Structure 1
Amino acid sequence: MELPELDDAPPALEDAEAPALSMIPVTILSGFLGAGKTTLLKFILSASHGKRIAVIENEFGEEIGVESLVAKDGAGGDVMDGFYELSNGCVCCSVRDDLVNTLEKLLERRDRFDYIVVETTGMADPGKVASVFWVDDELEGRIFLDGIVTLVDAPRLNFHLTHPDTQREAAAQLAYADRILLNKGDLVPDIEQRLEIEQKVTQVNGVASVRWTERSRVDLDDILNIKSFTTSRAEQVEKELHTLLTEGKEEDHENCKDESHDHAIHTGGMQTTCVRIRDGPLDQDKLERWLGELLWDQDEDAAAEIKPGSEAATRQKLFRVKGVVAIAGEPSKFILQAVHELFEVYASEERWTEDELNNKASRVTQVVFIGLHLRKSELEAGLRSCVVADN
């Protein structure tokens, strides 16, 4: 899948308002070969679920058999060249050259579907694909990134997270996810083993919603139209943070109430860590400048060749950032979101209470960082440097 060249600097997105109804939500589907993506796509394209979904495969494969589905259903495959319309109202196409070009052609018939699902290759970085929907001007105003769903081969998760050839990619796919589907649950009947698998997942990504599935069968409402990247409600983000801070071992969540505690449990260097700032509201310009420098520096590192055992191999790399932020001079709670090298900071629908506005220590900035080799002290210092002096 060829992605377009991105700008030289990671832009802060200016318009973070909830998308209009006419805009179409896009879900990115990631997962290793054998996780069950093909089975899930077959279900989407053939089941009578009542949803009109356009599926963009990375490439047509023999496994999914789109042509045979068309022939079986008696539906015409002549919507457009390379685009197939199935009898259940769904549309399927493949990325033959460029993702943006494929989306452009698909959107010429936007009246035929209400959702778009983009499949990535087994080892693909979902963050790079997600960037397309944040920076491409041609697509702006017509589609929006709704969420990232990662399908996991549950019985082989430990292997993928520990094997040198797959460790980094497997952890990254978990780190980027908003929804994690632990597939092949029928092959993991033991409750203790299931709990161990869930713990490994939450060690990497403590914010994503985790569900067990069998044969990739899932309620599509659980993975579509979840508004992970466009929520205007701080309450939703705070709920996710609260879940992270209160679930798991008792000693862990008790310690997480202490700002000095590092809620970072390592899985091949991948971890989730929480930072709370009670020193007062932040300067938005300083915050965005710090985020831009932080994310752009790591993107340059990623472009360079990294040798195992070198300093660069253990350098901090952020995959996702999410939080609720107190901004100086603003009565509203602000939401912070970042994926790959892009970020946005925007006002939510909720306001701080009068008591919180009158007491700066009550307006707590809470941010969760998910990434490799995170250095909490540096991240905390960076956020503190954005606090407005004498506020």
Structure 2
Amino acid sequence: MMSKVPATVITGFLGAGKTTLVRHLMENNQGKRIALIVNEFGDKGVDGELLASCGITGCAEDAIIELANGCLCCTVADEFLPTIQSLLERANPPDHILIETSGLALPKPLVKAFHWPEIRSKVTVDGVIAVVDAAAVADGRFADSPEAMAQPDHDNPLEEVFEDQLACADLVLLNKTDLLHPDTVAQVHQQVAQDLRAGIKVVRTSKSAIDPRVVLGLSAAAEDDLAARPSHHDAEDGHDHDDFTSFAIALASIADIEALEERILDAIATHDILRLKGFLAVEGKPARAVIQAVGTRLERWFDRPWKSDEVRTGHLVVIGRTGLDRAAIERAIGG
């Protein structure tokens, strides 16, 4: 009997460092054929394009499948299962499958999908890796004030998604520890660890850098251990994405990128944007700029030269709680 193909589910809230971890694993693939499924919330993908253009050996475009416009936890039958089947039917099927979920996805329904007869005998969930933004936890993003918790209709969808991701994990990467004082890292580590199942390890990382042997090869068979992975949404089919919204802003070529960054930070602070990411065309620059923001932490770099057949325009994907004033955000960022 042929052994099952291992699949690793990489979960974690918006901006935790999942794509960075995936790129690190692809760069250090140790000669394995790795297939990658990337899922994003919203209909405009960024992470899959970043990985497809990274130039890493073994990270060719045909090894990356991007599923946008929703979370895999809600579209397993329509998109995920056919995708897994198509990978397994290739002439040279992958040695390992990486699945990067949306930052708003629940991992448990996705793991449950591996019980489907079409794939159960062929694939196993080697492990669920939860990537945690240590700085976001330290800032209290996933914890409400006592006053909010005292409200009769208290409901924090950010906290629920975060806790569900931790509850399903076989390994937790406490990432971005370089942004914090060591004492704060220790406090966050303790806070995260108390919400985990017995025996689940927390590994501290910076920029998601970790030996792939620590992440891959856990042999957890997570699909056979669902009862031990509690969820706020066990009685539901997926979860309610009406709590969150996403939209893309088209941008022409930018003359003053520093001024744009100031407008972005002002918009994030004013409108409580959870996540912002995308690409920019900067006048006089032959390379495409990448911009990423988590809360008010913003990063920018040039990832690759523009292709000769590309239109040099940019776009930004904005993600936040439902109720974001799209028109106001577009005006604020567009200048």
Residues 1:32 and 1:76: Cα distance change in structure 2 (over 3 Å): closer
1:62 positional shift = 3.0
Contact 1:160 1:170 in 2 (8 A): no
Are 1:22 and 2:3 matched, yes or no?
A: yes
Which residue is 2:67 aligned to?
95
* Deviation digits for residues 89-132 of structure 1 (CA, Å, limit 9, x no counterpart): xx221236510011111111273421111111111110011100
Matched letter for residue 197 of structure 1: V
Matched letter for residue 83 of structure 2: T
Contact 2:134 2:175 in 1 (8 A): yes
Which residue is 1:280 aligned to?
none
Q: Distance in 2 between matches of 1:304 and 1:61?
A: 21
* Aligned counterpart for 2:128 among listed residues 148, 166, 180: 148
Q: Distance in 2 between matches of 1:28 and 1:201?
A: 19
Are 1:157 and 2:137 matched, yes or no?
A: yes
1:177 positional shift = 0.5
Are 1:224 and 2:194 matched, yes or no?
A: no
Which residue is 1:355 aligned to?
none
Are 1:181 and 2:173 matched, yes or no?
A: yes
Q: Distance in 1 between matches of 2:23 and 2:56?
A: 13
Q: Distance in 1 between matches of 2:238 and 2:93?
A: 39
Which residue is 2:85 aligned to?
104
1:58 positional shift = 0.8
Q: Distance in 1 between matches of 2:164 and 2:57?
A: 40
Q: 3-state DSSP class of the match of 1:138?
A: helix
* Aligned counterpart for 1:213 among listed residues 185, 189, 205: 205
Q: 3-state DSSP class of the match of 2:160?
A: helix
* Aligned counterpart for 1:42 among listed residues 4, 18, 23: 23
Are 1:200 and 2:196 matched, yes or no?
A: no
Which residue is 1:10 aligned to?
none
Q: Distance in 2 between matches of 1:152 and 1:39?
A: 12
Contact 2:34 2:58 in 1 (8 A): no
* Aligned counterpart for 1:54 among listed residues 30, 35, 51: 35
Contact 1:32 1:122 in 2 (8 A): yes
Q: Distance in 2 between matches of 1:94 and 1:230?
A: 23
Q: 3-state DSSP class of the match of 1:100?
A: helix
Residues 1:303 and 1:28: Cα distance change in structure 2 (over 3 Å): closer
Q: 3-state DSSP class of the match of 1:145?
A: strand
Are 1:68 and 2:60 matched, yes or no?
A: no
Which residue is 2:150 aligned to?
none
1:172 positional shift = 1.1
* Deviation digits for residues 255-305 of structure 1 (CA, Å, limit 9, x no counterpart): xxxxxxxxxxxxxxxxxxxxxxxxxxxxxxxxxxxx8xxx99x84467899
1:67 positional shift = 3.8
Q: Distance in 2 between matches of 1:147 and 1:74?
A: 24
Q: Distance in 2 between matches of 1:76 and 1:128?
A: 27
Number of equivalenced pairs: 211
Matched letter for residue 187 of structure 1: L
1:156 positional shift = 0.9
Residues 1:39 and 1:304: Cα distance change in structure 2 (over 3 Å): closer
Which 5+ residue runs of structure 2 have no aligned equivalent? 69-77, 145-155, 241-335
1:188 positional shift = 2.2
Which residue is 1:167 aligned to?
159
Matched letter for residue 50 of structure 1: G
Contact 1:151 1:180 in 2 (8 A): yes
Q: Distance in 2 between matches of 1:211 and 1:121?
A: 22
Q: Distance in 1 between matches of 2:132 and 2:239?
A: 29
Q: Distance in 2 between matches of 1:304 and 1:67?
A: 30
Contact 2:11 2:101 in 1 (8 A): yes
1:206 positional shift = 4.0
Q: Distance in 1 between matches of 2:30 and 2:236?
A: 44
Q: 3-state DSSP class of the match of 2:97?
A: strand
Contact 1:95 1:102 in 2 (8 A): no
Contact 1:149 1:177 in 2 (8 A): yes
TM-score between both structures, scaled by the size of structure 2: 0.55
1:171 positional shift = 1.1
Matched letter for residue 61 of structure 1: G
Residues 1:193 and 1:227: Cα distance change in structure 2 (over 3 Å): same
* Deviation digits for residues 164-214 of structure 1 (CA, Å, limit 9, x no counterpart): 341111111111101000011211232x22221111112111421110111
* Deviation digits for residues 34-85 of structure 1 (CA, Å, limit 9, x no counterpart): 101111122233446433321111158334524423xx469896xxxxxx24
Shifted more, 106-115 versus 180-189: the winner is 106-115
Q: Distance in 1 between matches of 2:211 and 2:189?
A: 20
Q: 3-state DSSP class of the match of 1:43?
A: helix
